[in-house]
Amino acid sequence: MFSTSNAMTVVESALAEFGQGVAVLTSFQREGVVIVDMVQKSAPGTPILTIDTGRLPEATHRMIHKIEDRYGLAVERIHPDPAEVASMVDVYGRDLFRDSYAHRVLCCQVRKVRPLGKRLETVSAFFAGLRRSQSESRVDIDFFDRTVSPVKVSPLADWSQRDVLDYIAANDLPEHPLYAEGYTSIGCDPCTRAVVAGEDERAGRWWWETDEAKECGLHFSPEGKVERKVDVLLREILERATV
């Protein structure tokens, strides 16, 4: 039988340390729903944040409503800047992420990273549903990542997928409908697919990209500063958005 004691200790420690300055950030995948449940049991009314990129699956919107009904609160949707999105789409098209790795990162910057960064300036810490066993890039996740601001808190860092499923079953939590269709990681609709046997949990994200495609070329700014290609693209988009 799985134990939630360690995860709950992390949750309660974060709540005690950060108080009203903490929030839950989730896309309502299984891990995120577990975090929401733990936090709401310990501190009802703790803000729940999610990023609405404008390209989410309809199933994710239905999932948000289920969470709101269950816990009796309103989930805060974080939206990208309309002018920045319009500028990007006007120049590169709505599905620019298919063109290159740099264009995909640009889309993520405009639709997710920038709006999230602005919102997180108002919190001291946030809960995330990251686990070390999800992918090789996450094997070193700490419960408290104090190298970033705000502090990232990952109560499920040492959990297995089985632990997550057992907690969901034991607490009768709602589950994102796309899991039933073979998805194991859920993001924007056009950038996520179901996985096949043998693939890791994150294989359904940006599956068309190769390691070679992700090697982003360097450029020099007018001041002689070395920049990634995506930095150049983003600067141009932001300049157009302010005109």
pLDDT digits (tens, 9 = 90+) for 47-83: 999 999 999 999 999 999 999 999 999 999 999 999 9
Which domains are assigned to the chain? Answer: 5-241 (3.40.50.620)
Q: What is the pLDDT of residue 213?
A: 56
Alpha-carbon distances, residue 159 vs 7, 79, 200 (angstroms): 9, 31, 16
Q: What is the pLDDT of residue 227?
A: 57
Q: What is the pLDDT of residue 216?
A: 44
pLDDT band, very low/low/confident/very high, at 230 (cuts 50, 70, 90): confident
Indicate the pTM of the whole model: 0.87
Tell me: pLDDT of 164 over 60: yes
Higher pLDDT, 138 or 34: 34
On average, the pLDDT of the chain sits at 90
pLDDT digits (tens, 9 = 90+) for 175-188: 999 999 999 889 99
Q: Write out the two tokens for 2.
A: 């799985």
Tell me: pLDDT of 215 over 50: no
pLDDT band, very low/low/confident/very high, at 3 (cuts 50, 70, 90): low
Q: What is the pLDDT of residue 162?
A: 92
Q: What is the DSSP string of 70-125?
A: HHTSPPEEE---HHHHHHHHHHH-TTGGGT-HHHHHHHHIIIIIHHHHHHHTT-SE
| 3-class secondary-structure state, position 24 | strand
**Catalytic residue IDs:** 216
Other C-beta atoms lying within 10 Å of the C-beta of residue 209: 15
Tell me: pLDDT of 14 over 60: yes
Q: What is the pLDDT of residue 203?
A: 86
